[in-house]
Chains A and B, each alone.
Chain A
Amino acid sequence: MPLITRRGFLITGSALAGTALVAAIGGVGFLATVDVEGLHGGAVDGEDAKLNAFVMLRNDGHVVINVPRTEMGQGIHTGLAMLVAEELDIPFDERIEVVFPTEAHPSYSTWSNVLQVRPEEASGPVAWIGRRVLGQMGFIATGASGSTMGLWHPMRVAGAAARQMLVAAAAARLGVPASELTTAEGLVHHEPTGRRIAYAELAAAAALLPPPDAPTLKPRSAWGLIGRSQRRVDLPAKVRGEPVFGMDVVLPDMLHATIRHAPVFGAGVAAIRNEAALRAEPGVVDVAIIDGRHVAILAQSWWQAERAAWRLDVEWTPTEADGENSAALAARLEAALGSEAPHGHIDDGDVEAALAAPGARLVEADYGVPFVTHACMEPMNATAILNEDGSAEIWAPTQNRVTMQAGVGRGMGWADARPGEVTLHVTMNGGAFGRRSDQDVIAEAAYLAARHRGRAVKVMWSREEDIGRGLYRSQAAGRLRAALGTDGLPLAYDARVAAQSILNAMGSRNMPFTPGPDGDYLTVEGLDKLHYSIPNRRMRSQHVPTHVPIHFWRSNGFSFNTFFSESFIDECALAAGADPLEYRRRLLVDSPRHLAVLERVAEMAGWGRPLAPGRGRGIAIEECYRSIVAQVAEVSVAEDGELTVDRVFCAIDVGTVINPDAVVAQMEGGIIFGVTSALMSTITIQDGAVRQSNFHDYPMQRMANAPAIEVAIMQSDLPPGGAGEPGIVPVAAAIANAIHAATGRRLRTLPLATTETTGVRRVRTLLATQA
């Protein structure tokens, strides 16, 4: 018996409109802070009693918790299940089963993240539109460090509502008032008579009761789980090699496909010169051109398909970008910085006057970062089938159910197939980092499945396609200027960034509408809100399109803008002759929350204690994803230029913490991800194509060069912020600042090092020589 009743989600427009209409008329309470719609369970399916959209009790005492967010390593299945368990009063042990629901219930929607509000704080027309439109669309996405923020309230409400229904069922059974009953450890207890009933015995009756209108949440003082580290629910399987990643989906009689994308982005297939020979290769079943752009080779096994693809001889169509290279693209950014940047984001006070004031000390610097890519450990893949009856099913590691759904429609459309009912399965993700919110590989699988109707097709990209023909974080350039007053603090701050618009690029590939670059908060984040008190401030951005496909990349704009801004504030401190920590303290006098995080990290790192020659400390701080994170990096630069990041200290205020050890793990992982890109990562363009192809030329931090990391979590009563991305955000600037402290050299371009291969799977990093 399936864990949950499998219900397909209809993609057709009329069905969607119909459902929305019925819900809009019939739904009540959708303006309240609690989405009561998600609380109507009322279903008993065999041995399972569904109490609401998030909680199902099984009669063997197991509790199924629906967590409609992708587990991609961040531990979200555990953290969100803890919220239900806390309110439901059940032990957090192996009886909890966490499931990514196949059904797209409106209460699972990511609307609050899209609209950048907390559900419990949202009201009025905005919340209504979010719930109605995005909810009904099945807009379920995992990203922007927003899952905990978005479900912090709804999932506790779901747990509390289920608990109250179980208590009501027990009261009816025992003939006592509900007020005499208490709950703990999965039991309802009647203190006066000493009677106890297990939830499992009450579940079927409870499921048929109406959900409470306003379930009462536990006060903070009564929490037993929230804030105490719990073991992750997904790890027992992960140490046995058991979880099913997208790559591990196996269906009967499945075909395997490998893809070759054009080396130059935007090119199409002019001709396959050796198609007949490829078709004669062992195991090869089909050679297909997808949407005129990519070549797919299908075989009985992926190995056969891939081996045949090595011999593929394609003539690609010429494009205008055939002559592009990194230097030319960087020059375009440079030029954009010098032009009048069209998009304004901050305009406070009179920056021009302050910069021109007599006696103002000017500090000015340009910074840059290259293209980089995600390199998720699990290469891109998806498995699809279009059944003879017109229904379709797809399995993929994805962060975004909506682009998944759109990808199925688009890919099958290329084969003129219009699927009826489509069932979407989100598998475990072997890393994601923003990459898996694109529909590219899903559309490819859908097209090939439609071409081979009745047969499942699994598409998997080689690592070479992932790194060399994939999606990228934009290159970017920043120009920052400040005028320092007589006290050394900035009177004016003027920032400009030139980059390719992330939302514009992502939207044009995946969405029915494309946001304009002036509305792209992702490209300017890290510069568009300044936590330092500076009276005159201005920030401008310029969208510089290239032929390189840009995508979300863990921490997006922060990944470059915070490198710019936190390097620059260090430069201001040095120009003022101040200690970088002391300087930031003075600029943060009005921000006690920031200041506390800064003080904490400085104390952890022993700021000010002398270091050996050739070593240095650097500090950086940022507010992002409603969290505040500060880091101190300690680096060594040897006589021969070898650069090592020895230690990174990290203090984070993430608001209320649910699973502290998972936050620590996210900081550790984020820091290592950030150190990799700060020191090692460059995607270079030559003749229009990416030069890098695999881990030998797109290296990663490994055990031997990963820094030691210490993390402290600040105590806070604020609602939770995000933790998936903040760990990366300050690290590049902290390292650049530390390099300056160690050597007196200011590096303003990432990566900060060059890599030298010293053996098999061994590299060392040497301080970059930059102008």
Chain B
Amino acid sequence: MVDFTLNGRPVSLDGLDDKPLLWVLREDLGTLGPKYGCGVAQCGACRVLIDGQSTPSCVTLAGSLQGAEIVTVEGLADPEGRLSYLQQAWLDEQVPQCGFCQPGFLIAATDLLSRNPSPTDDEIDEAITNICRCGTYPRIRRAIHRAAAARPVA
């Protein structure tokens, strides 16, 4: 038995300890934002925030998540549905092409900006290791800079 929160809602799982979180999310919890792209922590399409940290959910067993706070792309907007600064920047820069990889990039970039409100290009290169086969990298970079500039300093 594992209890965690998913996008703010409490979840209890039974008998799924050795199932990767990605498949628990997609098959058992109907959360389809995180995608399967490789299954081996290479592509990042499955990334979710676990206690604020961007993590490939395809290699994270559900059994290890007792008490964790999990946020997927569906949880980035606020409860009223308003986009996060990052999602808004993503729209303003017209980032996605096919869009399949984008949930993972949005999660990775959310994590980056929470640790580093104003990353340099090198820091972006260091932190964002996902794959986008459509080649949206130039726009992702611009969107991260735009979001960093738009976010009010706390």
Contact A695/B38 with A377-B98, A428-B99, A703-B125 known, Cβ cut-off 8 Å: yes
B98 adjacent to A431 (CB under 8 Å)? yes
A378 adjacent to B35 (CB under 8 Å)? yes
Other-chain residue from A239, A432, A671 in contact with B135 (beta carbon distance below 8 A): A671
Q: Does residue A668 face the partner (Cβ distance < 8 Å to B)?
A: yes
* Closest Cβ–Cβ distance, residue B61 to chain A (whole Å): 11
Q: Does residue B52 face the partner (Cβ distance < 8 Å to A)?
A: no
The residues of B that contact A669 with a CB separation of less than 8 Å are: 97, 134-136
Q: Does residue B37 face the partner (Cβ distance < 8 Å to A)?
A: yes
B35 adjacent to A247 (CB under 8 Å)? yes
- Chain B residue nearest to A708 (CB atoms) is B138
What is the total of A-B residue contacts with beta carbons within 8 Å? 174
A238 adjacent to B96 (CB under 8 Å)? yes
The residues of B that contact A243 with a CB separation of less than 8 Å are: 99
Number of interface residues of A (CB under 8 A): 63
Interface residues of A in 688-721 (CB under 8 A from B): 694-696, 700-704, 706, 708-709
Q: Does residue A196 face the partner (Cβ distance < 8 Å to B)?
A: no
Q: Does residue B87 face the partner (Cβ distance < 8 Å to A)?
A: yes
The residues of A that contact B129 with a CB separation of less than 8 Å are: 702-704, 760-762
* Closest Cβ–Cβ distance, residue B36 to chain A (whole Å): 7
- Cα–Cα distance between A703 and B105 once the two chains are bound (Å): 11
B73 adjacent to A236 (CB under 8 Å)? no
Contact A696/B40 with A235-B96, A375-B133, A665-B97 known, Cβ cut-off 8 Å: yes
- Cα–Cα distance between A232 and B97 once the two chains are bound (Å): 9
A661 adjacent to B94 (CB under 8 Å)? yes
- Cα–Cα distance between A418 and B125 once the two chains are bound (Å): 53
Interface residues of A in 127-176 (CB under 8 A from B): none
Q: Does residue B14 face the partner (Cβ distance < 8 Å to A)?
A: no
Instruction: Select the residue from B33, B39, B138 with max chain A CB neighbours within 10 A.
Output: B138
What are the interface flags for A223-261 relative to B under an 8 Å C-beta threshold, 1 for contact and 0 otherwise?
Answer: 000000001101111111111110110100000100000
- Cα–Cα distance between A432 and B91 once the two chains are bound (Å): 22
The residues of A that contact B27 with a CB separation of less than 8 Å are: 256, 301-303
Interface residues of A in 36-73 (CB under 8 A from B): 71-73
Other-chain residue from B97, B102, B131, B138 in contact with A700 (beta carbon distance below 8 A): B131
Q: Does residue B4 face the partner (Cβ distance < 8 Å to A)?
A: no
The residues of A that contact B90 with a CB separation of less than 8 Å are: 235, 239
A231 adjacent to B91 (CB under 8 Å)? yes
What are the interface flags for A740-771 relative to B under an 8 Å C-beta threshold, 1 for contact and 0 otherwise?
Answer: 00000000000000000000111000000000
- Cα–Cα distance between A430 and B106 once the two chains are bound (Å): 16
* Closest Cβ–Cβ distance, residue B119 to chain A (whole Å): 12
Contact A239/B96 with A673-B133, A695-B131 known, Cβ cut-off 8 Å: yes
B87 adjacent to A376 (CB under 8 Å)? no
- Cα–Cα distance between A463 and B138 once the two chains are bound (Å): 25
Q: Does residue A670 face the partner (Cβ distance < 8 Å to B)?
A: yes
- Chain A residue nearest to B28 (CB atoms) is A301
- Cα–Cα distance between A696 and B59 once the two chains are bound (Å): 15
Interface residues of B in 36-92 (CB under 8 A from A): 36-45, 72-74, 76-77, 83, 87, 90-91
The residues of A that contact B102 with a CB separation of less than 8 Å are: 238-239, 241
Other-chain residue from A75, A301, A462 in contact with B23 (beta carbon distance below 8 A): A301
B94 adjacent to A235 (CB under 8 Å)? yes
A709 adjacent to B91 (CB under 8 Å)? no
The residues of A that contact B91 with a CB separation of less than 8 Å are: 231, 235-236, 239
- Chain A residue nearest to B97 (CB atoms) is A73
Q: Does residue B141 face the partner (Cβ distance < 8 Å to A)?
A: yes
Contact A463/B39 with A661-B94, A665-B97 known, Cβ cut-off 8 Å: yes
The residues of A that contact B141 with a CB separation of less than 8 Å are: 703
* Closest Cβ–Cβ distance, residue A232 to chain B (whole Å): 6
A694 adjacent to B136 (CB under 8 Å)? no
The residues of A that contact B42 with a CB separation of less than 8 Å are: 694-696, 761
* Closest Cβ–Cβ distance, residue B54 to chain A (whole Å): 12
- Cα–Cα distance between A661 and B33 once the two chains are bound (Å): 26
What are the interface flags for A243-283 relative to B under an 8 Å C-beta threshold, 1 for contact and 0 otherwise?
Answer: 11101101000001000000000000000000000000000
- Chain B residue nearest to A75 (CB atoms) is B97
Q: Does residue B152 face the partner (Cβ distance < 8 Å to A)?
A: no
- Chain B residue nearest to A301 (CB atoms) is B27
* Closest Cβ–Cβ distance, residue A260 to chain B (whole Å): 15
- Cα–Cα distance between A244 and B36 once the two chains are bound (Å): 14
* Closest CB pairs A-B (n = 3): A241-B33, A672-B135, A430-B100
Contacts A303-B27, A708-B138, A760-B129 given; 20 further ones with Cβ under 8 A?
Answer: A234-B96, A238-B99, A238-B102, A301-B28, A306-B39, A376-B133, A377-B37, A377-B98, A377-B101, A377-B133, A379-B37, A428-B98, A668-B139, A670-B135, A672-B137, A673-B135, A700-B131, A702-B129, A703-B137, A704-B126
Q: What are 25 A-B pairs at a CB distance below 8 A?
A: A75-B97, A231-B91, A236-B91, A239-B95, A240-B73, A240-B76, A241-B34, A241-B73, A241-B106, A377-B35, A379-B36, A429-B98, A463-B38, A665-B97, A668-B135, A668-B138, A673-B133, A694-B39, A694-B42, A695-B42, A696-B42, A703-B125, A703-B130, A706-B135, A761-B41
